Amino acid sequence: MCKDETYVHPSALVSSKARLDSGVWVGPSSIIGENVTIGKNTRIDAQVYIDGHTEIGAECRFWPFISIGTEPQDLTYDAQDTAVKIGDKNIFREFITVNRGTAKGSGTTVIGSDNYFMAYSHVAHDCVVGNGTVFMHGATLGGHVSVDDFATVGAMGGVHQFCHIGKYAFIGGKSTITQDVLPFCRVAGERPTQFYGLNAIGLRRKGFSRDRIKTLKEMFKIIFYSDLNTSHSLSRIEEEFPPSEDRDDIISFIRSSKRGFVKKPGDRWEADSE
């Protein structure tokens, strides 16, 4: 089979109205609905179910036993015409579920590009996932959750509806997230979830310089370990640190938070965030 040739296994059920770009590969017993669009060189392995108004980008990989674009698990959903939109180069491992949006939400569940979803992950209705994220085994998003670029959600971690996970954040395994998680930080634990400092290892792996990491750490000390309240902490950061993308992202994130953010400090701040 030529790389640019589309292949559909004889046992697969692909609607004649579905749009498959060149190089798409559909494996045995997979089912593709009539309103599905699949981009170039995406591979659909055996027994994958894709339905609804679902748009999938190029060079994605779907392993067996996955369900994409099915109805949202929302009691108010009444067959409205909602959607799923998925970008390029995403990896979906076994037993993943992605539900389409709701009319009372944004109407569309959105996943960006270059994300890695490990087995049994779940992305609920109206979620927005950025680029370069990692969802470990069993990571679960409730409805209307936003996950920004390069965040990691740990194994069996659960994120409550309407929470916002900041970019480069790291959520430890089996954590229960009921508030927003600031960019660049690490949190872990179940009720209460605790803050464990800067995600320094992750930031170094992404090419952050020592000076940039040091500056972030100094800002976090003001937010989490000074005697100032949140509003005064942000004012002090604005006074002491010149405008930068990182500084402005943190300030904007906190000021726009509707649920508050994980702030209770854990015991290993100094040791683990160097």
Q: Three-state DSSP class for 214?
A: helix
Helix boundaries (H) for 75-124: none
In the numeric block, which tokens belong to residue 191? 């009720």
The C-alpha atoms of residue 127 and residue 147 are separated, in whole angstroms, by 8
Neighbours of 245 (CB within 10 A): 8
45 is catalytic: no
In the numeric block, which tokens belong to residue 152? 């990691």
Single out the catalytic residue among 88, 126, 148, 180: 126
Q: Is the dihedral of CA 180, 183, 188, 193 positive or negative?
A: negative
Single out the catalytic residue among 23, 105, 143, 197: 143
125 is catalytic: yes
23 is catalytic: no
- Which residues lie closer than 8 Å to 65 by C-beta, 6 or more apart? 47, 48, 94, 95
For residues 140 and 176, the answer to whether their CB atoms sit within 8 Å is no
Q: Three-state DSSP class for 123?
A: strand
**Whose structure tokens read 């953010």?**
261
> Residue 246 belongs to what H/E stretch?
helix 245-256
In the numeric block, which tokens belong to residue 6? 């589309």
**Whose structure tokens read 């409730």?**
142
Single out the catalytic residue among 125, 138, 158, 166: 125
The catalytic residues are 125-126, 143
